[in-house]
Homo-oligomer: A and B are copies of this chain.
């Protein structure tokens, strides 16, 4: 069974909470840094604002029993000010003519560019490394919370531009990325995926947004993404973490009976962190221009205690 074959439970000890991030060694990290040539920088984060990427469903008449509706639909951040630039002295004054502004945010931790924590998914009542699912309580995750890996996610990034491989700006919704796609993209780019790499896969899904500002593509189903067959390939290459420019890393709306199988095998069995909603358009342009598909990637999460995910601003340095 595939879950067994890709399992990393116990590989780095029974208390391990880093999973495949263990594959990023200091030597790898140093080499990645030293490989920077141009000093060109790209933020791979979508903006955190009121307009997206979460797109509310068009309203439709309810059906059946409407009394019980789990309120788990993600929405965009709500940003509010505590002190503005036209408030009176008593609100924003520090004395002596000095003034400040201040603000707050209320947000879902996984509604835009982010890393899933290993505690984000499970089956058979077990999280990665055999921890009980019930250890994720109303107070958050006791194990595998995102703050446990807050000094991680820095190393060599490799972009596999599968959309470019296929000569399209954006993969069609029906495209389920295969291991062959990944290997052929690497070959075409002249890059070797090595143990400890943080792998970025481009489907082109966010190209529309980059061009027009519209998030509608994010809602389409099916949506291109990685197929379950990629899991073993990722395991064999020793990928340390995986991020994609779509909403769920894996292909959505394919009609498979099992929902989220890729998440389950990656987060729970492999201990492979998954990144979603990564914005790869500008990085991909530069990679093509410079014919360089590896770079230094710095993408540490915020250290939210007990959290099962974190928004991030991943930075690629070429």
18 A-B interface contacts by CB (under 8 A): A29-B36, A34-B34, A45-B302, A61-B212, A72-B102, A72-B139, A78-B106, A85-B119, A85-B141, A86-B86, A86-B133, A91-B137, A98-B259, A98-B261, A103-B140, A105-B307, A154-B298, A298-B300
Neighbour of A45 across the interface among B58, B69, B86, B150, CB < 8 A: B150
Among A107-115, A159-167, A170-178, the stretch in contact with B: A107-115
> With A59-B216, A86-B134 in contact, is A300–B43 under 8 Å at CB?
yes
CB distance A102 to B94 under 8 Å? no
3 closest A-B pairs (Cβ-Cβ)?
A26-B39, A49-B305, A30-B39
Bound complex: CA A103 to CA B302 (Å): 14
Neighbour of A81 across the interface among B81, B85, B133, B303, CB < 8 A: B81
Say which size band chain A's interface belongs to.
35 or more
Q: Mark A52-64, 1 if CB is under 8 A from B, else 0.
A: 0001111111100
Does A296 touch B at the CB level, under 8 Å?
yes
Which residues does chain B contribute within 8 Å of A312, judged by CB atoms?
302
Bound complex: CA A103 to CA B102 (Å): 16
Does A90 touch B at the CB level, under 8 Å?
yes
**Identical copies in the complex:** 4
Bound complex: CA A309 to CA B48 (Å): 13
CB distance A258 to B98 under 8 Å? yes
> With A36-B30, A108-B102, A121-B98 in contact, is A313–B61 under 8 Å at CB?
no
Q: Mark A93-134, 1 if CB is under 8 A from B, else 0.
A: 011111111111111111000000001111111010000111
A307 to nearest B CB, angstroms? Answer: 6
CB distance B85 to A84 under 8 Å? no
> With A34-B34, A50-B69, A85-B132 in contact, is A308–B101 under 8 Å at CB?
yes
